[in-house]
């Protein structure tokens, strides 16, 4: 019970501050200061944003499908938060260690597609519908290369449980180089990172919510709390795929442990959070620098490049595992 409170409290707090991190980093890349007025270094900005979302007028378009319109953000948020229940934040800081934990996360993210499709459909206007269709098609296409790219890692670790995946990367080669899967499966790592960016609808793959083409994509007609739920769901998805990337490729919470007793208990979680932060920083940097893919380029890339690449990775890995 305490684990649940700690993990979910930490996750919700960090999601709010993720918006602050994103705005600050994007601003610094673009050589401007970013939010500085609300609190020192703009640290109270997420709280101000949250209050603003609460007090905004809640608009429901006249011809919108009321039930689906209200249900869509919830359908988007629940799977995004549900995947945190199997992620190991530390050696014992995990809500539940399912034996099929990795597949559980993939199952739950494939349910998140429905929030976007229903949100676009229920808004009953053309920009959301186009954005929703594009986004759903993109998400299910990249789900394939996402799940296939980790099969190589699974073949090496021989387990689907996330805690076991972390534990299988604790050894070191030559005494100091950690036995992380990023060194063993570099191709899978690249395919996974690119698919993860496409899966969470982030730049350079965010044609579905592009500001220049489709007003705001599938969440055009949404305001106040429902919009906040969509945003929370997007950031939660980002954190989930970053957490999965660190668990599978960067060794999860394993890292050098030193110091007194209480520090040894907390240090793995700190390593985990630092590694997740590397990925999130990478995400935000990508958003600030790279232009957007066109939709047909996006789909071609997913089906013609990433999918064969991940399949080739599976074949190569299975040969190597069978030989050794």
When asked if residue 106 is in the footprint of other proteins (CB under 8 A), the reply is yes
What's the helix, strand, coil split of the chain in %, to 5? 70, 0, 30
Q: Which of 20, 104, 222, 279 binds other proteins (CB under 8 A)?
A: 104
**Which part of the chain contacts other proteins (CB under 8 A), choosing from 27-35, 47-55, 101-109, 275-283?**
101-109
When asked if residue 100 is in the footprint of other proteins (CB under 8 A), the reply is yes
- Write down the least CB distance from residue 100 to other proteins, Å: 5
As to burial, measured by CB atoms within 10 angstroms (0-12 exposed, 13-18 middle, 19+ buried), residue 323 is exposed
Which parts of 140-159 interact with other proteins (CB under 8 A)?
140, 143, 147
- Residue 198 and residue 144: Cα distance in Å, rounded? 11
Q: Which of 14, 19, 36, 110 binds other proteins (CB under 8 A)?
A: 110
Asked whether the beta carbons of 253 and 269 are under 8 A apart, the reply is: yes
Measure Cα distances from 94 to 3, 37, 91, 269 in Å.
7, 37, 8, 11
Q: Which of 30, 96, 99, 297 binds other proteins (CB under 8 A)?
A: 99
Asked whether the beta carbons of 190 and 231 are under 8 A apart, the reply is: no
Cβ neighbours around 205 below 10 Å, total: 27
Hey, which bits of the chain come out as E strands?
A: 172-173, 177-178
- Write down the least CB distance from residue 67 to other proteins, Å: 9
- Write down the least CB distance from residue 128 to other proteins, Å: 12
Nearer to other proteins, 111 or 286 (CB): 111
User: Where is 4: in which H helix or E strand?
Assistant: helix 2-29
When asked if residue 133 is in the footprint of other proteins (CB under 8 A), the reply is yes
Asked whether the beta carbons of 207 and 134 are under 8 A apart, the reply is: yes
**Which part of the chain contacts other proteins (CB under 8 A), choosing from 38-46, 135-143, 207-215, 217-225?**
135-143
Q: Which of 121, 189, 218, 272 binds other proteins (CB under 8 A)?
A: 121
Task: Please report, as ranges, the residues that interact with other proteins according to CB under 8 A.
Answer: 98-100, 103-104, 106-108, 110-111, 113-114, 117-118, 121, 129, 133, 136-137, 140, 143, 147, 160
């Amino acid at each position: 019970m305490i684990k649940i409170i700690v993990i979910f409290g930490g996750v919700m707090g960090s999601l709010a501050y993720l918006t602050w991190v994103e705005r600050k980093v994007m601003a610094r890349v673009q050589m401007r200061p970013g939010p500085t007025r609300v609190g020192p270094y703009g640290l109270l900005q997420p709280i101000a944003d949250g209050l603003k979302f609460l007090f905004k007028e809640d608009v429901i378009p006249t011809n919108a499908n009321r039930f689906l319109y209200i249900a869509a953000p919830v359908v988007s948020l629940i799977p995004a938060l549900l995947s945190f229940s199997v992620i190991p934040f530390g050696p014992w800081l995990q809500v539940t260690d399912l034996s099929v934990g990795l597949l559980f996360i993939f199952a739950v993210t494939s349910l998140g597609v429905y929030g976007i499709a229903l949100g676009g459909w229920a808004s009953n206007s053309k920009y959301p519908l186009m954005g929703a269709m594009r986004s759903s098609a993109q998400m299910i296409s990249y789900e394939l290369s996402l799940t296939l790219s980790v099969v190589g890692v699974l073949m090496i670790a021989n387990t689907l449980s996330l805690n076991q995946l972390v534990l299988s990367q604790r050894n070191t080669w030559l005494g100091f180089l950690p036995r992380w899967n990023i060194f063993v499966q570099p191709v899978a790592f690249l395919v996974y990172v690119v698919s993860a960016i496409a899966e969470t609808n982030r730049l350079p793959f965010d044609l579905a919510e592009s500001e220049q083409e489709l007003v705001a994509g599938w969440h055009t007609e949404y305001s106040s709390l429902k919009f906040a739920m969509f945003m929370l769901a997007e950031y939660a998805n980002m954190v989930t795929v970053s957490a999965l990337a660190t668990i599978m490729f960067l060794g999860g919470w394993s890292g050098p442990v030193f110091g007194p007793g209480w520090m040894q208990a907390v240090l793995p979680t700190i390593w985990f959070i630092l590694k997740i932060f590397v990925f999130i920083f990478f995400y935000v940097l990508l958003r600030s620098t790279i232009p957007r893919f066109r939709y047909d380029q996006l789909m071609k890339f997913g089906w013609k490049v990433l999918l064969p690449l991940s399949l080739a990775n599976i074949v190569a890995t299975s040969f190597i595992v069978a030989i050794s």
